[in-house]
Structure 1
Amino acid sequence: MGTFSIWHWLVVLLIVVLVFGTKKLKNIGSDLGSAVKGFKDGMRDGSSGEAAAPSQQVTAEKTQDAGTIDVEAKTKS
């Protein structure tokens, strides 16, 4: 009862195909592939643009809404 044989996996595959159908399984596979591709592209873009990100954050902090009031918190002595 240790490992499953090829016949066990074929029965499981047959049940999955009967439940979901081949068209839905094909759509799931293509969606998963595009998600992995998008993740890899995002990781590649994120590592190359890492140095530019802090400067964008600083400029974003300087740009404020007209209704925002800038204050400083003082500690009690």
Structure 2
Amino acid sequence: MAAFLSRTAVHARKRAIAKTLCYRVLMVTITVIVAWAVVGDVRAALNIGLVTNVVKTATYYGYERLWDHVSWGVVGG
């Protein structure tokens, strides 16, 4: 199990934050468009898009940081 986990992060935290924010902007846009198509109300669609994506952003960041400590599949090092 020691070879599977790494004590040092593969990616810098700043890189993980940048990746997270770029991805979430795209996902907020998609969520708002889909919600608007379903509910037909722009204000409700914005609320749905923002609330769900705040939760998803925090979840993705944590998930990304956990994977930074897994050495499986990382070439070099």
Q: TM-score under structure 1 normalisation?
A: 0.35
More relative contact order, 1 or 2 (CA 8 Å, 6+ apart): 2
